[in-house]
Structure 1
C-alpha cells in the first residue's frame, strides 16, 4: 500500500513551534535562576573542619544564624561545665557542639528523604530541622546545666525555668534582631522541634518523626546525644565504640516513628552505656561537683548585686551572660562581692569543698528513702548527739547546716528507671514496613535488670570539718537503717576520716590528725625515763592539707616503727604512758605527753612493746624524721659500712 503523505497546516505548525520555543525559554529561565541561586548559595555557605565529623558544609540560612551575637555567645560557654577544672582537655564549647548537631540532623533527614521518598519530606522540613539542631542550645547559661538546675532553681524556685525555654526565647530574639530569613510559621515549627513535642497547628505537625531527630522525648535517641557523646569522649580522652553514623544509616520511619534495624540493638545499648559512663566518670565527678558547688555559691551570693538570674527575662542582657562572669567577679572591687571573691579564690587555690562521704542506695530503698531522712539539718542533729558525751574546744567541732551539702545523684540510661530497649522500635531485614520491639533477653543476657542508680553524697564546705561531717553522717545512716529495716543497709564507702569525737576505742587507738590542716597535730608520744619525747610529729610527705591519718591497727597500709630493744631493757621499771593524761584539743598542741610512775614495767606496756602500728587513711606514705635532736634516740639508726668489695 502506498503511504499517504502527511500534510500540516501552517497554523498548526506555527503553534507547535511557538510552544517549543516557550518551553525552551522557560527552561532557560529556570536554569538561569537555578544557577543564580546556586551561585548565591556558594557565596553564603561555608565549610567547617570539625574534629569529630570532618568537613561540614552549612548553607546560607544557617550562616545567617551563626554570624550573630546571639549564636557567637556559645563560644563562651563550655560544653561540660566545670569538668575542665578536672579534665584539662574538656575546653570545647557549645558552639562546635551546635554545629555538629546541625550536621547530624541534616544527615538524618536527608537519609530518610532519600530512602523513603513516600514520606514527602520537603526542602522546608530540611531547613527547619537543620536550624533546630543549630539553635537547640542557645538558652544555656554560665556553666551549662549548673545555671538552670542550680542557680536559677535556688534563687527563683517558682519559675521552673529550663534552658530549653531559654533557647526558644533567644531564638525569637535572634530572628527579630538580625532579620534572618525565617517566617513566623517556620519559627514556631523550629521551637517545637527543639522542645521535641508538636504544639502548633502547622502542616508538619502530622510528621511526628521529625520531632524525634533533635530532641527525642520518646526514647532519648537523637542527634544531640550522638554528637555530645562522641565529642566529649574525644576531648576528655575516653574511648568509645559508639558508631553514630551507622545508626543513622540504619534508621527508618515505620508507623510514624524512627525505628532501627534489629541488628543495631547492641550499638544502641553501647550508646546508653557510654552516656552513663560519661555521667559517672566525668559530668558528676566528685571534684567537678565540688567546684560546681563553689561556683554556684559564688554566683548566688553575687546575684543580689549583679542581678544575674533576672537576665533570663531579658534576652538583650542574657546574650552577654556567659562563663566570663567569674572573671568579672574576681576583677571587681565592690565590697558586696567580697564573699563571692573569697569563694572563687579558694577554688583557684584548690581549697575545695571536701567530699566527706557517699552511699549508694540499694534498689529496694530508693522508693522509701526521701530527703527528709537525710538532710544537712539531720546531720547537724546527729553531730550534736555525738558531742554530748565529749567536751571539745576545737573551733571546727561546731557544725551548722550551711557547712554541709547533701547531693542526691541519680544516674540512669536517660529513661529514668526503665531500660531504653522497652521504648525503642525495630524493624526486620525483611518486612521492614512493620515495627517490632525486642526484650532484653533477645539482645543480651548482660543487660542489667536495674537501670537507675541513686547515690547520696555529703560535702563539707570547710575542710577541717569534714571528719565531723563524716562521723555524723554515718551516725545518721545507722538511724535510717533502724527506721527502714535491716534487710538493706546504708553504709558510707569513702575512706574513714578522723575527728576528736572518736571515743569508742581510746584504749587501743590514738587519733592522729593532719598538722597542716589546723585540726589536731599528729602526735605519737613515746617517752623515756627522762620524760623526753623522741617521736612527736608524724606528717604526710605531701605538703598539703588534704591528707589525714590515725593510729590504729585496723585497716589499710601499716607502717611499723621498731623500738630499740636495748633501750627498752634500760627503761626504769614503773614508767608507763598514762593515756588519761593525753589531751588532743587545740589547746594542747605541741605539749609533751606526761608519763607517770606505775607498778608495771614500761616495756610490758602495749603501747611501747613490740611494734607500733600506724594506719594510713590517705593514699600517701608518712615521712618519719630520722633525727629528733637527741643523740640517744632509740629511733636513730646508725649506718653500717658496706662490706662489699669496691664499696666503702
Structure 2
C-alpha cells in the first residue's frame, strides 16, 4: 500500500537455504500478466523497444510495477507461469525474481542468489553442517563444507568473535562482484560490451573462488602440507578448479564449457596457474575477483571488512568509493586520482590485519601446535592423501580436530596430548622475535629450529623438537614492490588519459619499504624458554653482529614463598 510506514526488523533475518525442490519458484502466486512478444515490442505504435540479443523477453512483475521490467527466458507456449511443472529453467545470465532467493548477510545486507548460483550453493561441497566422524557414525548424513571452514582458522582462540566462515565470505564476494559488474554495465555497458553472461560468470567466480581451501584456512596450504610433503606446490586455487569440475559433473549442472572455463580462469587469475591475458577477451573481467595485475579485487574488499568487524577492529577503508568510481580504460580498471589514498588504505589495512590479527604471536603459537598435531595424525588419518583428490578432499574441514580427539585408539596419543594442551591454554612459550634488517631482506632465508640448535652454547642440550619457529612475512600483496605503481588513475570522468601516481606526488609520510620479515621463536616446554632465548640471541649475533630482537633475554622467574 502506498504511503504505508516501513517496518524495520529488530534482528537480522536468518539465512535461508532452499532445497533443490523448492528453489525454482514459490508455489502460490497470482498469474503473471501476459508477455509482450517481439512483434508487440518492436511495433511503431506500441512504444516498446526490442530486447537485446542476450537478455530474452521483457515481462512485467506480478506486483504491477510497470517500471520493474526484467529479462527472463521465454517459457513454452503451454506455460504462463514459472511455478507450473512445464516451465523451463532460466537461461544462463537471466535474472527473473521468481527464481531468485534472498540471504541476509551481516556485512552486505540482503544478497540475491540467482538460480545457477543456487545449484552450486545447494551441494555438499559448498555448504557444511556436519563433518569429521559424523560421516563415519551416520553414513546416511552427508557432511558438507564451507560452513565448517573458519575464515581465520584458529584466530578465534585469541579474538573470540572471529568465528565467521568461508561460506559467508563466498556469498559476500559473490554480492560485491555483482555490484561491480552492475556499476560497469550502467556506465560503460555499451562501450565494453558487457552482457548478462559476463555478469553471471564474474559472480560465480566470486562465489566459488574459495571452495578449494583446506582445514584451518591457509595453515593447511602453507604450514601442514610442506611438512608432510616436502616441496609441495599444492594451492587452494587449483583445488577450487578441480572441485568446480567435480561439482558440475556430479550434480549435472547445466553450464556451457566456455563459461565454465572463464570461471576457472578468473579463480586462478592471481595465482601461478594464471593463463596469459593476451589470449582473453575483456581482460578487465579477470581482475575483479582475483586481481593478479595489482591486487585490488572484491575478495579483499569483503574479507578486510568482515575480518575487521569480527575482531572488533576499526576499518578506515571504504570499498564503495572504489567500486563506484572505477572505470575501464584500455581494458584495465582505473580509479579517480582523488581516491589514491583510499587505494593505499586498502593495502595498509590488509597489512595491519596481518600484523595484529593473522600473525598475532599467540595465534601463531596455536597454529604451530596444531600443525604438530596434524603431522602426528597424518599417517593414521591419511589427511595429505586427500589433498589431490577432489572426491575425498571436500570431506576435509575444521572438524578434523574432533576426529583426532574422539579417535578410539592409542595411535593418536601424541596428537591428542597437543590438542589437549591447546584446550587448556598450555601453549608453546614465546621466547623472542626480531625484524629482519632492511639491507638483509633481499637475501633472507627462513630461520629453522636447526639454525637455533646450532647456535646454542656448549652447556645446553637443545634438540630441534624442543623449538618452534615462525617466519612471518607481511607485505602489500606484491612482495618488496609497491602495488600502487601497477595501478592507473584518471583525472576525472571526462578525461580519457590514464596515468600512474608515485608516492612522492602524494605524501612523504608513506612508507619507503613495502615488506616486513619477522622471525618468532617458541619453546615447546616452559622450562626451556631461557635456553632457547639465549640460543636465538647467539644466532642474531652470528648473522648480523648485533642483537636485533625486540625483548631482552628473559630471566628465570623468582619463586615466591608465602
* Contact 1:85–1:288 (Cα < 8 Å) also in 2: yes
> Which residue matches 2:336?
261
> Which residue matches 2:410?
335
Q: Which of 517, 522, 529 matches 1:466? A: 529
Structure 1 residues without counterparts, runs of 5 or longer: 1-20, 388-396, 483-488, 499-511, 514-521, 523-536, 540-624, 626-648
Matched, 1:96 2:168: yes
* Contact 1:286–1:355 (Cα < 8 Å) also in 2: yes
> Which residue matches 1:132?
205
Q: Which of 275, 280, 290 matches 1:215? A: 290
Secondary structure at 2:500's aligned position in 1? coil
Q: Taking structure 1 as reference, are residues 276 and 25 closer, same or farther at Cα in structure 2, changes over 3 Å only?
A: closer
> Which residue matches 2:27?
none
Figure out how many residues of one structure are paired with residues of the other and give that number: 468
> Which residue matches 1:155?
228
Cα deviation per residue 1:590-642 (whole Å; 9 max; x = unaligned)?
A: xxxxxxxxxxxxxxxxxxxxxxxxxxxxxxxxxxx4xxxxxxxxxxxxxxxxx
> Which residue matches 2:554?
497
Q: Taking structure 1 as reference, are residues 34 and 377 closer, same or farther at Cα in structure 2, changes over 3 Å only?
A: closer
Q: Taking structure 1 as reference, are residues 434 and 359 closer, same or farther at Cα in structure 2, changes over 3 Å only?
A: same
Residue 459 of structure 1 and its aligned partner are, at CA, apart by 1.3
Q: Which of 238, 242, 256 matches 1:183? A: 256
Cα deviation per residue 1:78-122 (whole Å; 9 max; x = unaligned)?
A: 001110110000000000000000000111111111111210012
Cα deviation per residue 1:15-70 (whole Å; 9 max; x = unaligned)?
A: xxxxxx99349999955794867956434311111111111112111111111111
Q: Which of 296, 303, 319 matches 1:244? A: 319
Secondary structure at 1:138's aligned position in 2? coil
Q: Which of 387, 411, 424 matches 2:487? A: 424
Residue 153 of structure 1 and its aligned partner are, at CA, apart by 1.6
Distance 2:406 2:472 in 1: 34
Residue 333 of structure 1 and its aligned partner are, at CA, apart by 2.3
Matched, 1:62 2:137: no
Cα deviation per residue 1:267-316 (whole Å; 9 max; x = unaligned)?
A: 11111111011000000001000101111111111111111011122222
* Contact 1:189–1:202 (Cα < 8 Å) also in 2: no
* TM-score under structure 1 length normalisation: 0.69
> Which residue matches 2:184?
112
Secondary structure at 2:111's aligned position in 1? strand
Q: Which of 213, 217, 226 matches 2:301? A: 226
> Which residue matches 2:104?
49
Secondary structure at 1:382's aligned position in 2? coil
> Which residue matches 1:166?
239
Matched, 1:443 2:498: no
Q: Taking structure 1 as reference, are residues 36 and 463 closer, same or farther at Cα in structure 2, changes over 3 Å only?
A: farther
Alignment of 1:190-205 (within 5 A): 190-196=263-269, 205=280
Residue 186 of structure 1 and its aligned partner are, at CA, apart by 1.2
* Contact 2:373–2:419 (Cα < 8 Å) also in 1: yes
* TM-score under structure 2 length normalisation: 0.79
Distance 1:237 1:30 in 2: 47
Distance 1:364 1:429 in 2: 40
Q: Taking structure 1 as reference, are residues 203 and 25 closer, same or farther at Cα in structure 2, changes over 3 Å only?
A: farther
Q: Taking structure 1 as reference, are residues 123 and 368 closer, same or farther at Cα in structure 2, changes over 3 Å only?
A: closer
Residue 200 of structure 1 and its aligned partner are, at CA, apart by 7.0
Distance 1:368 1:150 in 2: 22
Q: Taking structure 1 as reference, are residues 30 and 451 closer, same or farther at Cα in structure 2, changes over 3 Å only?
A: closer
Cα deviation per residue 1:351-392 (whole Å; 9 max; x = unaligned)?
A: 111111101111012234434xx432232233243x1xxxxx
Q: Taking structure 1 as reference, are residues 322 and 424 closer, same or farther at Cα in structure 2, changes over 3 Å only?
A: same
Larger Rg over CA atoms: 1
Secondary structure at 2:454's aligned position in 1? helix
Which one scores higher on RCO, CA 8 angstroms, separation ≥ 6? 2
Structure 2 residues without counterparts, runs of 5 or longer: 1-36, 47-55, 60-70, 76-80, 83-89, 91-95, 128-144
* Contact 2:429–2:522 (Cα < 8 Å) also in 1: yes
Matched, 1:357 2:432: yes
> Which residue matches 2:157?
85
